Amino acid sequence: MIWYVVGIVIFLIGLMISIGLHEIGHLVPAKRFGVRVTQYMVGFGPTLWSRRRGETEYGIKWLPFGGYIRMIGMLPPRAQDDGKLRSAATGPWQGLIETAREAALEEVRPGDENRVFYRKPWWQKVIIMAGGPAMNFVLAFVLFAVVLMGFGVPTQQTVIATVPACVKTQQSYEQNPECTASDPASPAASAGLRPGDRIVSVGGVQISTWEEATRAIRAEKAGPVAIGVVRDGKPLTLTANLIAQDRESLDDPNKIEKGVGYLGVSAVVANERQSIGAVTAHMWELTAATAGSLIRLPEKLVGVWHAAFSGEERDINGPIGVIGAGRIGGEIAASEAPVDSKIVFFINLLAGFNLAVGMFNLLPLLPLDGGHIAGGLWEGIKRAYARIMRRPTPGHVDIAKALPLTYAMALLMIVMAGLLMYADLVNPVRLTG
């Protein structure tokens, strides 16, 4: 039980660090471009600890579900076409928008006119708001690099690990897993192959990976084939009489290949460190997969709903919340897996979390970072068009007009977080049975 709790604590610490770095991604460029930042907070809810340095209060809050920096002047004052401020607002939504404008401008002091966020050039706004997701992507890449380049990836070597003495059908194996006199000898055993032999060629064709050896053996079908090995440092060629078997396809696990050549050996598996190029390819593949998951998020949430309220099995590849991820961390910490495997799992868990957070925040919807980025880009496009057409420079993009949609999105995100939290409590994703 204690290791389960330790696993949850380790994940939460990593989560808080990730959130803190995300907010630093916003904080640093904001200060660099002269925006006055009044608060830098990791977490939500009541303040656990805080300290003021200069004009900014830095602190940690109790609930590790996010974070924020408070920049002054996020919303511009509302102006009429002649540039004069409107004295009154009409309509329920308009009143709500004006209240938000007033709250955003309350912290603006005399002399801060050029330090408000909305007055900054569009490209500075984009950099400030993209800094958070960018930090998540950098952190994910670094963590994946630690796993792939530091610990390595379990890879089948060309060295033989086991040589079965016989060949058994599924039915005979279930009846008696031990070899009997009626079971035919395996092609590998008959050929004299031994554990520790390194396969270097199949049918006279040189191979360098276990996958190449497997494909070459399958392609030979049934019949004799020359197997080149290195045993105790010396080259040796043995002849194996392959048999035909139906095997799972190497390219599509859902397909069965009929009558492929079967030798009957297994490979030694060892961690193999990868290159920076492999890390980049891995990051790209997971980014594409995460983007696809975001597109299917509504469909996935329907599955979470059914799992939470109908008892259906949770999709192990579906969305989970902080509670669910923490429970998985506790489950791994309490398992009997080797310590190295546990460390790799936690690093991968945090890397995947950062990648997902970065991708989610890039959605072009307020209040997400992507909504502010889209506003900045739209402002840049409008000003470039006006410059080309020799028209007056348009004003700053007024994202306050999108506040009704922002509040709707915020409510939807709260509902989504609540659903995930409930599902993670009553029907969590489990890695083991």
Catalytic residues, by residue number, are 23
Distance in angstroms (rounded) separating the CA atoms of residues 194 and 427: 48
Phi and psi, residue 364, nearest 5°: -75, 55
- All residues at 6 or more sequence positions from 426 whose CB lies less than 8 Å from its CB, including other chains: 308
Please list the residues that pair with 237 across neighbouring strands.
Answer: 228
| Distance, CA of 200 to CA of 210 (rounded, Å) | 10
Q: Would you state the structure tokens that stand for residue 150, as one six-digit string?
A: 């530091």
CA distance 364 to 378: 11
Q: What amino acid occupies position 95?
A: G
Q: What is the DSSP letter of 220?
A: T
Residue 146 DSSP one-character state: I
State how far the Cα of 361 lies from the Cα of 258, in Å rounded to an integer: 47
* Measured distance CA(209)–CA(200) in Å, rounded: 9
Task: Tell me how long the chain is.
Answer: 433
Q: How far is CA 62 from the centre of its chain?
A: 25
Contact assessment for residue 361 and residue 168, using Cβ atoms and an 8 Å cutoff: no
Determine contact, residues 123/116, Cβ cutoff 8 Å: no
For residue 399, give the DSSP letter: G
Structure tokens at 251: 């390219």
User: Is 366:402 a contact under the CB 8 Å cutoff?
Assistant: yes
Residue type present at position 201: S
